[in-house]
Chains A and B, each alone.
Chain A
Amino acid sequence: MAHSPGVTTVTTEQSDILALARAQVLENGEGLSEAQVLEVLRLPDSVLEELLSLAHEVRMRWCGPEVEVEGIISLKTGGCPEDCHFCSQSGLFDSPVRAAWLDVPMLVEAAKQTAKTGATEFCIVAAVRGPDERLMAQVAAGIAAIKDELDINIACSLGMLTPEQAEALAAMGVHRYNHNLETARSHFAQVVSTHTWEERWETLRLVREAGMEVCCGGIVGMGESLAQRAEFAGQLAALGPDEVPLNFLNPRPGTPFGELEPMSGPDALRAVAAFRLALPRAILRFAGGREITLGDLGARRGLLGGVNAVIVGNYLTTLGRPAEADIDLLGELAMPLKALNDTL
């Protein structure tokens, strides 16, 4: 790649970590350690393109060119008793988001619209600490109705589970369960006070035990240090999830993190590449906040920098780019949409 001569000198240490990542991750499929991820996160902008292209090579080598496309829907919005400081759906903050429930016909319609884009994943989300009987019944009815009408993989994200609930969801045909660790263990108490990182970890263990795929990621840009961002990547690698959704903080009005600055584009891209190098085989999904942090070019930059899954259309409470824009981009990049058969 072209560097502007004299602008930045790349030190031996910087080229070393990239050379090492090439040998260790690209050739051998062995993810970077926490300390190595930290070195990557500290790389200067002058080697960002080189880093992104390595992350892209790693993704192509260990995951292939397919992109997994997902739509998400909020079944129960707002009024959550937890206090995750980034979240507009907590009932404890003065956020403009009001509580709402979606009915089953609307849920089925949302699944149909998602499938129409070519997406193979449909994730049903509820803003709760964990599901109660009413929510479990609503989810069961919703999944049955969706499965009646169309073929799509169904994932859920309903908070912390009991062993019985994990079993019940698996029996309903939920193929993947999302539960984010959100941030590094050492930073978690700065982000959430109503439950612990360990409680989240326990739910992830139950999800795997029940036979569902594990989807676990978090949000970067919540005031964590680079060392903590690397720590988080290391903790995710230790968990070994099937999918890692990576969000960038989108500061929500009325929340404790409402006044934080969104991450810079280069920092966000460095995080994407670093997470790919820590997790060479995971489905790495661009989740929320990419529009704010990276603008219109974000999808392209991410998909050429380690990302191999996207959320199309809107998010839970905010709006995304038009789904067609992302689907067209995949065509342009010659990245086929992952087919349903591949994932069943």
Chain B
Amino acid sequence: MAAAFCDQCGRSAEAGGHVRCAVRRELEPPRYCAECARRMVVQVTPMGWTARCSRHGEIFSPEGVC
């Protein structure tokens, strides 16, 4: 499913203006749920991260959590 919202700034993904967000994403876990734009509870660990949306559940870094 294509993301409806930008996980860095929480605005509509289609709106444009996400150039800085793309740069930021390289060194930043997601902050907003891509499905509903709620701010997520994010835990960064030495080797990964988890991000939880109260509505859409938890997602994990591709490398795993810790």
Contact = CB atoms under 8 A, between A and B. Distances in A.
B66 interface: yes
Given A96-B39, A98-B41, A113 B46 contact: yes
A253 B66 CA distance: 25
Contacts of A292: 27
A312 B47 CA distance: 9
Nearest to B7: A96
Contacts of B66: 106, 109-110, 112-113
Contact of A314 (B26, B32, B41, B49): B49
A317 B44 CA distance: 6
Interface string A35-69: 00000000000000000000000000000000000
A73 interface: yes
Interface string B43-66: 111111100000000000000011
Given A96-B10, A109-B66, A319 B29 contact: yes
A92 to B, nearest CB: 16
A226 interface: no
Contacts of A71: 46
A260 interface: no
B17 to A, nearest CB: 13
A106 B26 CA distance: 24
B46 A313 contact: yes
A319 B28 CA distance: 5
A72 B46 CA distance: 6
A74 interface: yes
B13 interface: no
B42 interface: yes
Given A96-B39, A98-B39, A98-B40, A110 B45 contact: yes
Interface in A245-303: 253, 291-292
Interface-central residue, B10, B24, B41, by most chain A CB under 10 Å = B41
Nearest to A312: B46
Interface residues of B, number: 22
Contacts of A96: 10, 31-32, 39
A315 interface: yes
Nearest to A117: B46
Interface residues of A, number: 31
B44 to A, nearest CB: 5
Contacts of A100: 41-43
Interface in A94-114: 96-100, 102, 106, 109-110, 112-114
Contacts of B39: 96, 98
Nearest to B29: A319
Nearest to B27: A319
A285 to B, nearest CB: 15
A323 B46 contact: yes
Nearest to B30: A96
A125 B54 CA distance: 25
A96 to B, nearest CB: 4
Contacts of B49: 314, 319
A106 B41 contact: no
Contacts of B46: 71-73, 110, 113-114, 117, 312-314, 323
B43 A74 contact: yes
Given A292-B27, A319-B27, A319-B28, A314 B40 contact: no
A320 B46 CA distance: 9
7 contacts: A74-B43, A96-B31, A96-B39, A100-B42, A109-B65, A314-B46, A316-B44
Given A74-B43, A314-B47, 20 more contacts: A71-B46, A73-B46, A96-B31, A97-B31, A98-B39, A100-B42, A102-B43, A106-B43, A113-B46, A253-B24, A291-B27, A314-B45, A314-B49, A315-B44, A317-B29, A318-B27, A319-B26, A319-B27, A319-B44, A319-B49
